[in-house]
Structure 1
Amino acid sequence: MSTFSGLGTALSSLIAQRQGLEVSGQNVANANTVGYTRQRATLSALPASSVPSMFATSSGVGQGVFTSGFERMGDIFVDARLRTETSGAAYLQQLSTSYSQLEDAVGEPGDTGLSSQLTNMFTAWSEASKSSEGSASRSVLLERSTAVANQIATLYNGAQTQWNQTLTTTNSLVTQVNTTAANLADLNSRILAITNAGGSANELMDSRDLLITQLSGLVGATARIQENGTVDVMVAGNALVNGAKANTLEVTGAKSFDQAMAGESVGIVWSKNGASAGLDGGRVAGLLTVLAPPNASGSGGMLTEAATGYNTLATQIATQVNALHNTAYTEAGYETGTTAGDFFALEAGKPAALGLKVAITDPQDVGLAAAGAGALDGSIGDKLAALATATDGPNATWSANVVQLGVRSASASSRASVAEAARATSEAQQLAQTSVDTDEESINMLAYQRAYEGAARVLTAIDEMLDTLINRTGVVGR
Structure 2
Amino acid sequence: RLDSTVSRINALASQIAELNVQVVASESDGKTANDLRDMRDLKLDELSKIAGTRVINQPDGSVSVLIGNSTLVGGDSAVPLSIQMETPNPLPTTPLTDVPVRLRLGDSPDRLAPIGGQLSALVDVLNTEIPAYRGRLDAMASQLVQAVNTKHTGGFVFNGNTVPGAAAGNFFAPGSTTNPVRAATIGLHSTVAADPSAIAASGNANAPTDNSVSQGLAGLRSATNTVTWTAPNGATETGSFLEFFRGLVTRLGIQTSTATDNASVADNLVEQADKRRQSVSGVSTDEELVNMLRVQQSYQAATKLITAADEMLQSLLSLI
TM-score by length of 2: 0.78
| Match runs of 1:357-436 below 5 Å | 357-359=187-189, 360=192, 361-371=194-204, 374-391=207-224, 392=226, 393-436=240-283
Letter in 2 for 1:385: A
Q: 1:445: Cα distance to partner?
A: 1.7
| Displacement after TM superposition at 1:432 (Å) | 3.3
Correspondence for 1:355: 185
Tell me how far 1:222 sits from its aligned partner. Answer: 0.7
* Residue 263 (structure 1) shift: 5.8
Q: Which amino acid aligns with 2:249?
A: V
In 2, are the aligned partners of 1:252 and 1:268 still within 8 Å (CA)?
A: yes
Q: 1:323 aligns with which of 150, 167, 191?
A: 150
* Secondary structure of 2:166 counterpart: coil
Q: Residue 370 of structure 1: CA displacement?
A: 2.1
Confirm or deny: 8 A CA contact 2:165 2:205 kept in the other structure: no
Which amino acid is the alignment partner of residue 202 of structure 2?
Answer: A
Structure 2 equivalent of residue 94 of structure 1: none
**How many residues in Structure 1 have an aligned counterpart in Structure 2?**
288
Equivalent in 197, 219, 225 of residue 51 of structure 2: 219
Alignment correspondent of 1:312: 139
The residue aligned with 1:200 is 32
Change over 3 Å in CA distance of 1:237–1:339 after alignment to 2: same
**Distance apart, 1:286 and its partner CA:** 0.8
Identity %: 27
Contact 1:173/1:218 (<8 A) preserved: yes
1:335 is matched with which residue?
A: 163
Q: Does 1:180 align with 2:12?
A: yes
1:289 maps onto 2:119 in alignment: no
Unaligned runs of 5+ in 1: 1-168, 293-300, 468-478
Distance in 2, Cα, partners of 1:457 & 1:227: 48
Aligned pair 1:276/2:111, yes or no? yes
Q: Which one is further off, 454-463 or 176-185?
A: 454-463
Preserved contact between residue 260 and residue 304 of structure 1 (Cα < 8 Å): no
* 1:377 Cα offset (Å): 0.9
* Other-structure match for 1:86: none
Q: State which of 222, 238, 243 in structure 1 corresponds to 2:75.
A: 243
Structure-2 change in CA distance of 1:378 and 1:351 (3 Å): closer
- Is the contact made by 2:98 and 2:131 (CA closer than 8 Å) also made in structure 1? no
Structure 2 unaligned residues grouped into runs of 5+: 88-93, 227-239, 314-320
1:167-225 CA-partner distances (Å, limit 9, x unpaired): xx111111111111111112222222222212221222222222112111111111111
Relative to 1, partners in 2 of residues 1:334 and 1:462: Cα closer, same or farther, differing over 3 Å? farther
Distance 1:443 1:172, change over 3 A: same
Do residues 345 (structure 1) and 157 (structure 2) align? Answer: no
Aligned-partner residue type, residue 198 of structure 2: D
**1:345 aligns to what SS in structure 2?**
coil
What secondary structure does 1:267 align onto?
strand
Q: Is the 8 A contact 2:84 2:104 kept in 1?
A: yes
User: Which digits, 9 at most, give the CA deviation of each residue in 1:316-354, with x for residues without a partner?
Assistant: 221111111111112349834632121111344365223
* Shift in Å, 1:406: 1.5
Q: Conserved in 2, the CA contact under 8 Å of 1:267 and 1:276?
A: yes
The amino acid that maps onto 2:112 is: A
SS in 2 for 1:376: coil
* Structure 1 residue 422, shift from structure 2 partner: 1.4
After TM superposition, the structure 1 = structure 2 runs for residues 157-176 of structure 1, keeping only pairs within 5 Å, are 169-176=1-8
Across the aligned residues of Structure 1 and Structure 2, the Cα RMSD in angstroms comes to 3.2
CA distance in 1 between partners of 2:34 and 2:44 (Å): 15
Does residue 443 of the first structure (1) align with residue 273 of the second (2)?
Answer: no
- Alpha carbons 2:82, 2:103 under 8 Å: kept: yes
Report which of the two has the higher share of helix: 1
Distance 1:218 1:261 in 2: 29
Higher RCO, 1 vs 2 (CA within 8 Å, ≥6 residues apart) = 1
Following the alignment from structure 2 to structure 1, what is the Cα–Cα distance between the partners of residues 115 and 20?
25
> Is the contact made by 1:347 and 1:357 (CA closer than 8 Å) also made in structure 2?
no
Q: Which amino acid aligns with 2:12?
A: T
Give the Å deviation of 1:269.
0.6
Counterpart code for 2:144: I
- CA deviations over 1:39-66 (Å, ceiling 9, x no partner): xxxxxxxxxxxxxxxxxxxxxxxxxxxx
What is the rounded CA distance, in whole Å, between the counterparts of 2:18 and 2:95 in structure 1?
38
Distance 1:217 1:315, change over 3 A: same
Q: TM-score under structure 1 normalisation?
A: 0.54
